[in-house]
């Protein structure tokens, strides 16, 4: 299949026309990669079982891992979900449109294929104008997982989608870099207190300021509420090791590990915040990557997946990384890094 790559500026007539064409592709059962404010999504018609099957196939994703349904107006929520708890309405008021996904009991109109066989459905109302228009033009309900091949870091640029999905889907809409760079926060509203299933830009205390206490699903589980959480995610091809502890010890240990690895002839990289780069000095053969300033956690989140992909392109074999326990996004950033490392954390 030939994948068409388009640039559609929603503020021009031509751009709108292209987005209408993309909407038609989805209506006809095709797949389109599209930018959202979090990461690029792989969009198909959420109410069509055949489209859901195609999404799983294009991504190489296990079919028991449910898809998020995206809407572009609040009124459409009640079409696809059964009951909307008051707390969900309050969260929607506070954070929709935005990077928050809520899980509800589904209506029969949502096919089992879309929800991986679950009787619940995850719903998000994104901010991005391209995504909103595409949703409207394609009939109102878009199923969109992140547009990466299963297991790889999510796509934050159109080039990432081209790399992962070219030849496997109908169209890619190039809308530049995704703003946030981490996937949405996922919260289960079918129970009280609600349960935080995936950390994201809307953090726990922001949620709790609206709903009161929120529980967190902890530790690896055999039957997690969020099936996606049992799969290895965001993984670069090289081996990622997170080193945690007091700054000087972390730096010393990373230097030792990276030097050993480089001496063995392995392509080696160190990922650290701008403030700590000087601790590592300049070692030939070791690539030092600036993750951004600890004072700019948005920047760190925004760059993270692109950095992991860049390391893949360079065939990096060993990556040593500091912790980024920043106040607001630290838990989301460390959640992604921990998964990317397959839980390889060294405490020093």
Per CB under 6 A, the segment of 209-217, 220-228, 237-245, 262-270 that binds ligand TXA is 220-228
Min CB(34)–ligand TXA separation in Å: 8
Question: How many residues of this chain interact with ligand TXA, rule: CB under 6 A?
Answer: 29
Q: Which is nearer to Mg ion, 45 or 146 (CB)?
A: 146
Name, in order, each residue with C-beta under 8 angstroms of 278's C-beta and a sequence gap of 6 or more: none
Q: Report how far apart, in Å, the C-alpha atoms of 240 and of each of 203, 204, 318, 320 are.
A: 25, 27, 6, 6
Give the span between the Cα atoms of 142 and 132, in whole angstroms: 10
Binding residue (CB under 6 A) for ligand TXA from 19, 25, 39, 173: 39
Q: Which does 121 bind (CB under 5 to 8 A by kind): ligand TXA, Mg ion, none?
A: ligand TXA
Residues in the chain: 348
Site for ligand TXA in 79-118 (CB under 6 A): 101, 103, 115, 118
Min CB(100)–ligand TXA separation in Å: 9
Q: Is the sign of the CA dihedral 329, 98, 92, 78 positive or negative?
A: negative
Residue 146 in the binding site for Mg ion (CB under 5 A): yes
Binding residue (CB under 6 A) for ligand TXA from 72, 102, 110, 121: 121
Assigned token pair, 189:
């509203």
Binding residue (CB under 6 A) for ligand TXA from 30, 66, 179, 236: 66
Q: Which is nearer to ligand TXA, 227 or 299 (CB)?
A: 227
Q: Which does 156 bind (CB under 5 to 8 A by kind): Mg ion, ligand TXA, none?
A: none
Binding residue (CB under 6 A) for ligand TXA from 8, 15, 36, 77: 36
Min CB(269)–ligand TXA separation in Å: 25
Q: Strands across the sheet with 4-6, in order? A: 4-6, 171-173, 32-35, 40-45, 142-143, 68-70, 120-124, 100-105, 185-188, 195-198, 215-216
Closest residue by beta carbon to ligand TXA: 228
Q: Which is nearer to Mg ion, 151 or 285 (CB)?
A: 151
Looking at the DSSP bridge assignments, the partners of residue 331 are none
Closest residue by beta carbon to Mg ion: 146
Give the span between the Cα atoms of 14 and 16, in whole angstroms: 5
Is the CB of residue 213 less than 8 Å from the CB of residue 89? no
Give the span between the Cα atoms of 26 and 12, in whole angstroms: 21
Looking at the DSSP bridge assignments, the partners of residue 215 are 195
Q: Which does 144 bind (CB under 5 to 8 A by kind): ligand TXA, Mg ion, none?
A: ligand TXA
Catalog residues that contact Mg ion under the rule CB under 5 A.
146
């Amino acid at each position: 299949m030939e994948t068409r790559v388009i640039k559609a500026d929603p503020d021009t007539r031509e751009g709108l026309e292209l987005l209408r064409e993309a909407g038609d592709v989805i209506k006809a059962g095709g797949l389109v990669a599209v930018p959202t404010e979090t990461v690029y999504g792989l969009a198909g018609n959420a109410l069509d079982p055949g489209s859901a099957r195609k999404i799983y196939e294009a991504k190489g994703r296990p079919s028991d891992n449910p898809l998020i349904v995206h809407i572009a107006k609040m009124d459409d929520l009640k079409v696809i979900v059964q009951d909307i708890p008051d707390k969900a309405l309050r969260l929607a008021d506070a954070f929709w449109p935005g990077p928050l996904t809520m899980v509800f009991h589904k209506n029969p109109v949502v096919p089992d294929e879309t929800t991986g066989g679950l009787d619940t459905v995850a719903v998000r109302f994104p901010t991005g104008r391209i995504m909103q228009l595409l949703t409207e033009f394609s009939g109102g309900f878009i199923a969109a997982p992140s547009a990466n091949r299963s297991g790889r870091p999510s796509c934050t640029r159109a080039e990432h989608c081209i790399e992962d999905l070219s030849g496997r889907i109908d169209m890619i809409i190039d809308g530049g870099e995704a703003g946030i760079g981490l996937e949405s926060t996922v919260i289960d509203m079918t129970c009280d207190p609600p349960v935080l299933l995936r950390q994201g830009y809307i953090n726990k205390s922001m949620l709790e300021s609206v709903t009161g206490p929120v529980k967190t699903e902890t530790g690896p589980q055999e039957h997690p509420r969020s099936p996606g959480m049992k799969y290895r995610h965001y993984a670069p091809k090289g081996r990622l090791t997170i080193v945690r502890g007091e700054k000087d010890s972390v730096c010393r240990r990373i230097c030792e590990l990276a030097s050993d690895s480089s001496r063995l002839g392995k392509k080696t990289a160190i990922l650290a915040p701008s403030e700590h780069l000087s601790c590592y000095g300049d070692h030939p053969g070791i690539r030092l990557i600036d993750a951004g300033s600890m004072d700019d956690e948005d920047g760190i989140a925004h760059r993270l997946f692109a950095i992991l992909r860049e390391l893949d392109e360079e065939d990096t074999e060993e990556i040593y990384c500091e912790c980024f326990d920043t106040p607001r996004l630290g838990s989301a950033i460390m959640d992604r890094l921990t998964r990317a490392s397959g839980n390889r954390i060294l405490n020093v």
